[in-house]
């Protein structure tokens, strides 16, 4: 008996983003968004920050010709196609809303599942009234309304951190053949571990509310969030905080981009913590040796060291890294520890890593040997931060 196969599914080819047309689609979406923002009279397009597989990220500033409001810049994230990648946007917005209020997580300003819901139905008088009102208060709804006249689909507004990502820091370290002092390494390590701690419990703070530093939770429901894209490009450099000891000289790091984040199933709390922590530890190897090829787990090399098998071979050569704090070296070696079958074994927990990085971050310059002390002085740390971040040429625009 002949069986007629079912017809192939009808797929609109415009919804299939390939490498060949991704850039063209992104340029079209960028132009549409820029035009919508320009005509809004309430926001100004500054620049495009980047394209993703399904999304476009842009920097906007609050247009305030009367200078009635503080200067404000925001990051707008939109899908390239209203029909594509929407699930990632919904997940990212949900994660950012749940994590809002954590000090080491990028702060969500507002989110909508469909900007088309904000399409104005008022007349000319209503639009004029909104423009007058915007001179005193320019809420995100004004931007969503401006975007609604092109296409629907979700939009995410988040805070903007002007100092860039750790990629920029590593590029400058590589170009200058520099290395970071231990006090900077410890401080940033603790920042990144704190961000991992944030992924274990919901905060759900209000928009614009106070930020609280993360602490491991003994009680309460575990969030079990796995970021799935922890990398130097997704760790942003914030400002120094004179009133916070940890960030008086070294600026805070903030985790961004939760489009690939997933919640682990109940019972996988430890696995979710270790997945995030392993990615952070790989990032630390790159910060210690910016010229290293260690970017992914498969790049790690094995070594027998201090009675253990570890994948952190790249930082165990004392002749190559004579300045590295032995405590930091030991923590990272243990964080990549394996058994004889080369499986992860006996690695520090997230809470233990949090406590050990906090102790390391609090070490004063005087705790280091006399030969290394000059690299750890407040004046040296301040000068390096100025040269690498605050006074560096903005060569990424």
Backbone angles phi, psi at 46, to 5 degrees: -100, -55
**Binding site, annotated residues for ATP:** 77
**What confidence score (pLDDT) does residue 139 get?**
78
Q: Where in the chain is the domain with CATH 1.10.510.10?
A: 166-390
Interatomic CA distance for residues 144 and 128, integer angstroms: 17
> CA 261 from chain center: how many Å?
12
Interatomic CA distance for residues 168 and 159, integer angstroms: 19
3-state secondary structure of 58: strand
**Binding site, annotated residues:** 77
CATH of 166-390, one of 1.20.1070.10, 3.30.70.3400, 3.30.365.10, 1.10.510.10: 1.10.510.10
pTM of the model: 0.88
**What confidence score (pLDDT) does residue 324 get?**
96
**What confidence score (pLDDT) does residue 9 get?**
39
**What confidence score (pLDDT) does residue 86 get?**
77
Interatomic CA distance for residues 125 and 119, integer angstroms: 16
**What confidence score (pLDDT) does residue 14 get?**
46
> CA 376 from chain center: how many Å?
27
Per-position pLDDT tens, the chain of length 397: 444 444 443 334 444 555 557 777 778 888 888 888 887 778 889 999 987 767 889 999 987 766 666 778 999 998 887 666 678 888 899 999 999 999 999 999 999 988 888 776 554 444 444 444 444 457 788 888 888 877 678 899 999 999 999 999 999 998 888 889 999 999 999 999 999 999 999 999 998 899 999 999 988 899 999 999 999 999 999 999 988 888 999 999 999 999 999 999 999 999 999 999 999 999 999 999 887 655 666 678 899 999 999 999 999 988 889 999 999 999 999 999 999 999 999 999 999 999 999 999 999 999 999 888 999 999 999 999 999 998 866 554 4
Q: Where in the chain is the domain with CATH 3.30.200.20?
A: 23-159
**What confidence score (pLDDT) does residue 296 get?**
65
- Taken in order 242, 246, 251, 252, the sign of the CA dihedral is negative
CATH T-level fold of 23-159: Phosphorylase Kinase; domain 1 (3.30.200)
**What confidence score (pLDDT) does residue 141 get?**
82
| Closest C-alpha to 224, from 270, 190, 259, 278 | 270
**What confidence score (pLDDT) does residue 363 get?**
96
């Amino acid at each position: 008996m002949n069986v007629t196969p079912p017809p192939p599914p009808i797929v609109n080819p415009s919804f299939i983003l390939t490498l060949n047309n991704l850039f063209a689609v992104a340029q079209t979406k960028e132009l549409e968004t820029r035009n919508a923002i320009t005509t809004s009279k309430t926001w100004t397009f500054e620049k495009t920050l980047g394209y993703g597989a399904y999304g476009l990220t842009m920097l906007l500033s609050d247009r305030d010709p009367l200078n009635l409001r503080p200067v404000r810049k925001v990051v707008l994230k939109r899908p390239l196609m209203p029909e594509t990648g929407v699930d990632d946007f919904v997940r990212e917005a949900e994660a950012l809303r749940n994590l809002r209020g954590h000090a080491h997580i990028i702060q969500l300003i507002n989110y909508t599942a469909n900007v088309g819901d904000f399409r104005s139905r008022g007349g000319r008088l209503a639009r004029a009234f909104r423009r007058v009102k915007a001179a005193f208060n320019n809420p995100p709804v004004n931007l969503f309304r401006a975007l609604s006249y092109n296409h629907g689909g979700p939009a995410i507004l988040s805070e903007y951190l002007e100092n860039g990502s750790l990629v920029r820091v590593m590029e400058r370290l590589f170009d200058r053949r520099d290395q970071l002092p231990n006090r900077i390494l410890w401080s940033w390590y603790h920042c990144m571990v704190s961000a991992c701690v944030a992924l274990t419990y919901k905060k759900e703070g209000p928009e614009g509310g106070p930020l609280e530093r993360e602490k491991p939770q003994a009680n309460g429901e575990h969030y079990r969030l796995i970021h799935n894209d922890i990398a130097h490009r997704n760790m942003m450099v914030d400002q120094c905080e004179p009133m916070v000891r940890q960030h008086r000289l070294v600026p805070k790091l903030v985790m961004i981009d939760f489009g690939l984040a997933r919640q682990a199933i109940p019972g996988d709390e430890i696995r979710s913590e270790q997945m995030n922590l392993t990615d952070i530890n790989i990032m630390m190897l790159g910060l210690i040796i910016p010229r290293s090829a260690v970017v992914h787990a498969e790049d790690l090399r094995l070594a027998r060291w201090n009675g253990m098998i570890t994948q952190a071979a790249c930082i165990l050569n004392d002749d190559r890294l004579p300045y590295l704090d032995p405590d930091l070296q030991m923590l990272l070696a243990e964080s990549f520890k394996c058994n004889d079958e080369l499986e992860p074994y006996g690695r520090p927990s997230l809470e233990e890593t949090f406590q050990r990085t906090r102790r390391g971050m609090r070490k004063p310059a005087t705790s280091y040997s006399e030969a290394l002390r000059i690299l750890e002085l407040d004046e040296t740390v301040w000068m390096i931060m100025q040269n690498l971040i605050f006074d560096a040429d903005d060569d990424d625009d």
